Chain A
Amino acid sequence: MAILSEDQTMLRDMAREWADNEAPVAAFRKTRDAAPPEGYDAALWQAQAEMGWAGVLVPEAHGGAGMGFLSLGLVLEQLGRNLVASPLAATAAATSALMLGGSQAQQAEWLPRIAAGEIVATLAIDDGPHFAPDRIATRVEAGQLTGTKAFVAEGDSATLFVVAATDGLYLVSGEQGVTRNTRKLADARSHAEIVFTDAPAQKLTEGGEQLLRQVTDRAAAATAAEMLGMAESAFAQVNDYLKQRVQFGQPLSTFQALQHRMARMFTELELMRSAVEGALEAIDAKRSDVDQAVSLAKAIAGDTLNLVSREMVQLYGGVGMTDEYDAGFYLKRARVLEAMWGNAAWHRERFAKLNGY
């Protein structure tokens, strides 16, 4: 765990307590079964907003807490542990786009509403099923945006979209020229194809040429924090299970072959935590190598969560295959987050380029 300020410690403890008491995995299961159109439990999101989480990144001048990415990561990690279906990550990614690229007027219009939890915001970047920020066909003419964005997180409920077009990022409100087509993925969360047809769009004019990269890097770091929480929790559940499950007359936890797999996974988790916290801290410190730190975090998070989620099902054995147990939830959400904002291969490729080989 990174060295936290008193405020950050409080924030983390509060998030952990809330997630354990109010939003355990059973709550996610209920939401999945009820399948509300927005893809999350609106009352739970309201409660999160009331605790100030929607405004963690938002500067105090606009009604937020201005606490930065490490703080956001602490909350997302706790939500990830229990697979809380929350639009917080998507909203925070859009928030960072506004903070980096928005004019004063745009920030004044949107940030207070985000901080108050009045709206869900999201990024709409990819035209297809893979993260490919260099292949965008969406275009804007005379302030009207046209194009199709695939698999937009929280696309079913978002009322503010930060959209990538050929010449930069644009703000589009969900009111006019926006068609939503729900796409049901394995993780039972909200993803939608969004078709923009002559939708009124306002360009994010600040931030320069690097804006798209900086925004998607921040989205990737936030995602990695959620993945860290998932991997930690999945691992802890497996560890508990191995101590309870008796086979051949003794608990599975006494078998060395299993002990070594767990020790190896635990070691990888330690590296994952360091890499993820390193990226969040690099963003907060405005370091010049944020891109490398994020690629490190997202690649390692992807590989480690992939390993832990597979082992979770395998080590649970047959019951890990049943819907009644939670292991499948972690497996299914893991793959979605692995693919989001660049999978491990994408980030390894970029890491090599950034290092000149």
Chain B
Amino acid sequence: MASAPEIDSATDPMATFRGEARAWLAANFPPELKGKENPMSAVDGPDEASDAERRWKAAMGDKGWGVPTWPSQYGGGGLSRAEARVLQEEMARAGAWNPIGGMGVMMFGPTLLEYGSEAQKAEHIPAIVRGEVRWCQGYSEPNAGSDLANIQTSAIDAGDHYIVNGQKTWTSGGQWADKCFALVRTDKGHKHAGISFLLIDMDAPGVETKPIRLISGQSPFCETFFADVKVAKANLVGAEGQGWEIGTRLLQHERSSLSGGGSASRLFAGTPLGQMALDYRGADDAGRLSDADLRLRIVRHEMDVRAFALTLRRAALESKSNAGPSATSSIMKNVGARITQDRAELAIEVMGMQGLGWEGEGFSEDELAQTRTWLWGKAVSIYGGSTEIQNNVIAKRILGMTEAK
């Protein structure tokens, strides 16, 4: 095994912290987990963790480094951005990955830190930091998807609590979640101003979930039904009627996490399409991919990927201001969705019938996975605000296009 390069305190201003991070990782990251990143970390799935995975999650949870920049008073890492970057570098060096994820980390936590009461933060943030509570998102309804302000799920004031009735849909991981952050209607008279942001226990009496089977054959989503569910008023975040503001702020966090969150390297994972195409389709006498039209479409796609990676890098370098997610996250989300879908379409085309296998004999694991990836990928331009909704955001917030003369 190669020995670790020396940390040079003369040239590295972060040398002290780097040394601390490196030593802690060496002591706590189980080497057998190297590179075995939990693919479900983005959306908390069923828990089938090994002993080593559980130990690693507990260690990171106690240290708060799964959410390195969150305040330490709630169990977060309390690190500066510079320290968090060093931690990331050292984790990459060690082949370690972050076991703390899910919607609590990506969306709900940052929003609660901004809008929650002291008591709410003290109750919920530490559990998110340790990855102990799984959150799901109660936003969309059958008649309120892109037109989110049209939600009808009602929360009626009943003194010290609300009575919640209605139906949510597309609740990712709802069947596994412990709690739900939901948009509910507390006032029928006002469209936007009648919406509140409420935290609901998924095991409360009257809450029911029903998985939705997708075209890919998978069921990561649920319909969630609320029938006379009692929710204490202490679980209202912000003021009654402030839900739209809080909810849209959360969507900004969602968008930036959906855009790839700056990890462009993920886009380059797997066999390059050009190579895959040569393997499946063969080359002409000049060594070029034999299907000239396909070849050029692959080039266009690969160029898109590189330009996107450069853009993510540029955005990361430029965001020195420490500001949270902004309207540019809409651009990233749209390009990320386009790239994901283009790649999947090209991949199944490259494979021909081999790329359309559903199950059983005659297909490699990669080929079967490609079918599901292609179908699942149709969701990325729909969820988290469709491409059309993001274009509205770009036009209005960045380009100022609603302005009258």
Contact = CB atoms under 8 A, between A and B. Distances in A.
Given A352-B274, A352-B289, A357-B274, A266 B399 contact: yes
B275 interface: yes
Interface string A263-289: 110110011111101100000000000
B331 A270 contact: yes
A32 interface: no
A349 B392 CA distance: 35
B314 A2 contact: yes
A259 B401 contact: yes
Contacts of B295: 352, 357
Interface string A159-194: 000000000000000000000000000000000000
B266 interface: no
Interface centre among A254, A256, A270 (most CB of B within 10 A): A270
Contacts of B404: 250-251, 254
A216 interface: no
A262 B398 CA distance: 11
A243 B304 contact: no
- SS class, residues of chain A in contact with chain B: helix
Contact of B395 (A262, A272, A299): A262
A243 B405 contact: yes
A274 B402 contact: no
A2 B328 CA distance: 16
A67 B398 CA distance: 33
Contacts of A277: 310, 314
Given A266-B394, A357-B289, A253 B403 contact: yes
Contacts of A352: 274, 288-289, 295-296, 298-299
A351 interface: yes
B42 to A, nearest CB: 24
A270 B403 contact: no
B306 interface: yes
B303 A356 contact: no
A355 interface: yes
Nearest to B294: A357
A352 B278 CA distance: 12
Given A243-B400, A253-B402, A351 B275 contact: no
A134 to B, nearest CB: 14
B390 to A, nearest CB: 8
Nearest to B277: A357
A261 to B, nearest CB: 9
Interface string B60-94: 00000000000000000000000000000000000
A262 B317 CA distance: 26
A66 B396 CA distance: 42
A263 B396 CA distance: 9
Contacts of B399: 239, 253, 259, 262-263, 266
A244 B274 CA distance: 47
Interface string A333-357: 0000000000000001101110111
B318 interface: yes
B299 A251 contact: no
- SS class, residues of chain B in contact with chain A: helix
B300 interface: yes
Nearest to A297: B307
Interface in A304-318: none
A125 B295 CA distance: 29
A357 B301 CA distance: 14
A271 B274 CA distance: 22
A58 interface: no
Given A242-B401, A244-B405, A263 B314 contact: no
Contacts of A260: 388, 391-392, 395
Contacts of B335: 267, 271
Interface in B137-176: none
B308 interface: yes
Contacts of A262: 394-395, 399, 401
B272 interface: yes
Contact of A270 (B296, B311, B396, B401): B311
A351 B302 contact: yes
Contacts of B288: 352-353, 357
Interface centre among B295, B392, B394 (most CB of A within 10 A): B394
Nearest to A269: B331
Interface centre among A244, A256, A271 (most CB of B within 10 A): A271
B403 A296 contact: no
A348 B303 contact: yes
Interface centre among A3, A243, A258 (most CB of B within 10 A): A243
Interface of B: 272, 274-275, 277-278, 283, 288-289, 295-296, 298-300, 302-304, 306-308, 310-311, 313-314, 317-318, 328, 331, 334-335, 388, 390-392, 394-396, 398-405
Closest 5 CB pairs between A and B?
A357-B274, A259-B395, A274-B310, A263-B391, A263-B394
Given A1-B314, A348-B300, A357-B289, 19 more contacts: A3-B317, A243-B401, A251-B403, A254-B402, A259-B396, A260-B391, A260-B392, A262-B395, A263-B390, A263-B394, A266-B399, A271-B308, A271-B311, A275-B310, A278-B310, A296-B306, A348-B296, A348-B299, A352-B299
9 contacts: A1-B318, A251-B405, A259-B396, A266-B331, A273-B311, A299-B303, A352-B298, A355-B274, A357-B278
